[in-house]
Structure 1
Amino acid sequence: MPASTLADPLCEDCSHPTPTSELVSTVEGEPLCGDCAEDVPRCDQCANYSRERALTVDETYLCGECVLDWSRCTDCDHYTRHVTAVVGGGEVCGGCGENYTSCSDCGYLAADTSEVCGGSQVCASCADEDYHECAACYTLVLREDTYCQACAPERSWHSKVHSWDHKPSPRFHGQGPLYLGLELEIKTPSGVFNDAVDTALDHLGDLGYLKEDSSISPCGFELVTHPMSYAYAREEFPWQLLNRLRLLGAYTDEHVGIHVHLSRAGFDSPAHIYRWLKFVYRNETAVTTLARRSSPEWAKFSAEARSRLWEYAHGTQDYAARYEAVNVRPEHTFELRVFASSLHPQQVQAALAFAAASVEYTRHLSAAEIARRRGWEWTAFTTWVRSRPHYSPLLAEMEALACAS
């Protein structure tokens, strides 16, 4: 059939035949004649005709194509290039975000916040994870605290025991790259508190300091060291101090623990961090046996943490819980929280040795070793430890607790 006899296409709206050269196409692909096109609005960005347009926070209207890279505010329904997540809500634009309060702990906007001791506001997630009610009133306090500031009983006092938030500039001891920071929670009868403090400070020198910790009830302190290499800790920490404190009457129980901070700079890569975290979490039974406690309240091995180890290894700490077996919140360290406190040198040495040994064991752990030699398993780790005498306190404690195989 000759081309001249072909019928002109029809306008989508009025159905009138219109020469192809005069047709206008909408963003949605509809062919319109010029008159009908005038009734269709244009996109404010690309200027193309579009029946469906989205209103933005800038009070412009965009077609479906131009709005693809934009997000929709769950509060005002307008589109925006930038949204902020809300704990307990959706994602909001900058304007709607001003209607929310930032959580003082995680920094995220929150739909609902609660006031905690000291006046700060925290989101529901942080409140559930990190706080509980004061033992004497309804004020929310950190889980390691028993009382709020108003209800706290009078505590023993010493001018050289710093407040709980004391954080001096670190003094590094020994050769890295891995440095360990020891936090040892110690209880004392009130009558020997001052003597215990003086004894601890005399032995520590510039290696550490003492802090208050309201979780150490009714009386005691937290002994904190500056960062030190494992070799330095083994050889230079004043281990005789622990026996001296025991002779004075200091003690530990199930309510106090040992926390070991491991420097992030001591790991080779995110892959190394992932291998280390995975090793710790895969061996919960053996680790808690070695640690002499299982503590779902203060050092839990949660399924959520296990599922997010890869994210934690790559620096994503959103909503990470503080009271996990490994606390990944600190900026420069990982905090291994699993160990029960002790004033027996071998047990404290074993905590430091496990921190160091587990990092070194996973540093070069290969896929072949994992697949062929069961590298993730505790037995492979204990075999590795046996061949390295500098971890002898760890091996001795493993054998004492029947977890050396």
Structure 2
Amino acid sequence: MNFNHSDKVKQLEARLTEFLEEFIYPNENVYKEQIGKSDRFSKVPPIMENLKEKAKEKGLWNLFLPESEYGGGLTNLEYAPLCEIMGRSSMAPEVFNCAAPDTGNMEVLVRYGTEEQKQQWLQPLLRGEIRSCFSMTEPDVASSDATNIQSSIVRDRDEYIINGTKWWSSGAGDPRCKIAIVMGKNDPSAPKHEQQSMILVPLDTPGVTIKRVLPVFGYDHAPHGHAEIEFKNVRVPAANMLLGEGKGFAIAQGRLGPGRIHHCMRTIGAAERALEELCKRVQDRVAFGKKLSEQGVIQEWIAEARIDIEQARLLTLKAAFMMDTVGNKEAKAEIAMIKVVAPKMALKVIDRAIQAFGAAGVSEDYTLAAAWANIRTLRLADGPDEVHKRAIARYELKKYM
């Protein structure tokens, strides 16, 4: 495995870093102020759209997309350091049109969409004109086992009828969110992993109701949001089915591999920023007669943080390398491992940074509290730790059967 970055990637790293320093960091508070305190899900902060135009002008757009007729051209290994840089700021991925769940939904449409579906939904997403959500998790079942999902997708001549309730549909609160990819059961009598399908549902379809937007540790993540959505006798054309009936699990595996590794890449970036802020803070604060940076316990935190970040990065790069060379299916153990390791690592680093900041660390004056709350959800999103550990153990045991 050769993890040396090509000249192309090095140039993109430098350009992204410069962009964050010049445009993103100085505007993080502007973004929060423009969201405001009321009507937080009815408007889009103007600074976001302005920064998107700057990103397009500088050629820093849709970097996540693998080589295809729609652009892109970076491998997972090449994208890893770039995604990490974006992960240093919660607002950065959207600026470059590299934010979840749009990236995963665009990859689904590239891989499995018909030409008509691509024209109607993929192209506007690639241009950043609309946003999307992914509706899989349900409130009434343990959705970590997706075979439990009970929402129904029933064929009625040239239409499908969707019924059910989804929640944690990230992005559905955004006024720009126009399309949902919905996973539901279309044939309960089929083999266990062929009962589910995925279908495209425009959010303005009659019968679609956004019941509420769910906060995460008190953060509403406006204007993005995480919505509970009711689908009541929702009718969409049969042409909205993705890939075909019973292909929901196949699509999910194709979608979640890249989605999981992108989360891990961004998480490493968040941990790097937290360590950077910790190191700067402890140089400036004095307690019991000497700088915090001279306290042995603080030095131990810093050393452990550097070790943990490097270990998580190397494992993530190995997973990216395997996805590029042998495919997502063969890299499934490595993908599962990084999904467990990266969020736990970042939470530990951020928690130490919060401790070093003292009371300021849990305030809204700094990025640490929001980063911790956001990353804590990743131990649940795209499969909880326990499910990934179960899979890793099974892969390991198979070697000795």
Greater helix content: 2
- Name the TM-score, length of structure 2 as normaliser: 0.24
Q: Relative CO higher for 1 or 2, CA cutoff 8 Å, sep ≥ 6? A: 2
Tell me the TM-score normalized by structure 1.
0.24
Q: Which structure would you say has the larger Rg?
A: 1
